[in-house]
Every structure is written in C-alpha cells, then in structure tokens.
Amino acid sequence: MVFVDESGDHGLDTCDPAYPVFVLAFCIMRKSEYIDVITPAVQRFKFKHFGHDLVVLHEHEIKKAKGEFAFLLVPAKREAFFPELNALMATTPMTLVAVVIRKDKLKEQYHKPGNPYHLALEYGLERVSKWLTSQGQAGKLTPLICESRGRKEDDSLELEFRRVATRVSGFDIHFVDKRANLPGLQIADLVARPIGRHVIDPAQENRAYTILESKFRRSPEGQINGYGLKIFP
C-alpha cells in the first residue's frame, strides 16, 4: 500500500519565502505490516495519550498545539508525548519516497513552469514503481491512497494520475477524507513537512528528518538523493 500526503501550497501564484517548497511524500507499507504492526502501534499511542483512538494525528495541529493537541501546552505532557511520537515514527516499518519542488527556483528557471503537484506526482510514482519492481511486485495492482482535497481538485488530480499512469502502471488510486482516520495517511502527514524543512535548510537541527532518513529508498550504493528523495529543480 502507498499512502500519499503533501506539505506546502502547490500553487505558483504565491510563494512563502519561509517555506518556498511543495512536498509530496509516498509512504510504502507492506499490507501484513500495516495490519499487524503499524495500525496497532498507532492505536496504542492514541489510547495512551488521548484515552481513545478517534483523534487524527495532524502535523500542523501538533506543532501549534491546537484542538485535540492543546494539552501539549503543558510542559510535562509535551515532554511525555514527543519522545513516544518519535519512537512510533522510528519503529514504523515503511519505505519512503518524497519529491520536493522548489517553487522559487521553478519560477526562476522556467518560462512556463509545470504544476508542482503534477511534477511531484510523476517523479514520485516513477520512483515508487521502480522500488515495487525491485520487490517482486511488478504486474500487481498497488493501492495508492491520497488524502481527499475536494471534488474539483480530486478530479483534476485523478486526470493527471491517469496521464502519468499511461507510463507508470500498476497503481489503483483512492481519495480518502482525513476523517476516515487511516493510520497510513496520518503517518504520511507527519513525514512531509520535516522533509521540506530539511531541503530548505539542511544545517538546521531536524530531529524528525533524522528519524526518517533511514527509511528512504536508496541506490545500491546507499544514495538517497535522486532515489528516495527527488528535489526539483
């Protein structure tokens, strides 16, 4: 299964100087591990910190301590929460592919730049497909699960997906509302922004990215860039 989520605005009309990137993260999970390891681990984490598993883990709300995560304003609870969240991410079995579109450079270098979401989707699916082939999954249909972004945008994305799929086949796309509370989508939500922050400033301390680094798809020589992490341009 492949869970997909994004970070940043994919439009080119505006470009936030503090976050001039669009990130599309693809979290590849084996179905057996998703059933037996990942889903129970996420549920245990939620029951421990919330008393139920109805809450949806959302990176932006966690960072801002908003809504269900307002309790993180209490230092003691915050200190208990984040080490266990980091441990959850560190022990989640998955292979990670991410595409980071530098919107600022895209506009500078191209007279007619492509849509950042479409570019990221194409680059990402190419790399996910190659990894699946290396794992003996060629010819099999792999669910690609994306967070729903509204009917109009979903239709536009599906149209682009169909175009890309003429060259990169083997995926069955599904759009799911975040309220469906799928552990895989929540994991994807948590990984996207730390990757963007790392690309913007690799020298900045980034504990979340350090945890994720070992999960990227790599070349036979162990290289991440161009394999598990595509930065364009």
CA dist 35 → 88, 92, 177 (Å): 15, 12, 20
In a domain, 83, yes or no: no
Q: Is the pLDDT of residue 166 over 70?
A: no
Q: What is the CATH number of the domain that holds 29?
A: 3.30.420
Give the side-chain half-sphere CA count within 13 A for 207.
7
In a domain, 63, yes or no: no
Q: Give the sign of the dihedral formed by CA 174, CA 176, CA 181, CA 183.
A: positive
Please state whether 94 falls in left (phi above 0), alpha (psi between -120 and 50) or beta: beta
In a domain, 60, yes or no: no
More confident residue, 177 or 152: 177
In a domain, 218, yes or no: yes
Which pLDDT belongs to residue 148? 82
Q: Is the pLDDT of residue 143 over 90?
A: yes
Confidence band (pLDDT; 50, 70, 90) for 163?
confident
How far apart, in whole angstroms, are the C-alpha atoms of residue 102 and residue 112?
Answer: 15
Contacts of 163 (CB under 8 A, 6+ apart): none
In a domain, 58, yes or no: no
Q: Taking the C-alpha atoms of 5, 7, 11 and 16 in order, what is their torsion angle to the nearest 10 degrees?
A: 180
How far apart, in whole angstroms, are the C-alpha atoms of residue 223 and residue 24?
Answer: 19
Are 116 and 14 contacting, i.e. CB atoms less than 8 angstroms apart?
A: no
- Its pTM stands at 0.94
Q: Which domain holds residue 175?
A: 2-40+95-232
How far apart, in whole angstroms, are the C-alpha atoms of residue 10 and residue 203?
Answer: 25
Q: Is the pLDDT of residue 4 over 90?
A: yes
pLDDT tens-digit map of 86-109: 999 999 999 999 999 999 999 899
* Count of domains forming the chain: 1
pLDDT tens-digit map of 27-79: 999 999 999 999 999 999 999 999 999 999 999 999 999 999 999 999 999 99
In a domain, 206, yes or no: yes
In a domain, 10, yes or no: yes
CA dist 150 → 146, 155, 215 (Å): 12, 8, 30
pLDDT, averaged across the chain:
93
In a domain, 112, yes or no: yes
Which pLDDT belongs to residue 195? 98
Judging by DSSP bridges, how do beta strands 95-102 and 21-28 pair with one another?
antiparallel
Confidence band (pLDDT; 50, 70, 90) for 147?
confident
pLDDT tens-digit map of 174-233: 989 888 999 999 999 999 999 999 999 999 999 999 999 999 999 999 999 999 999 999
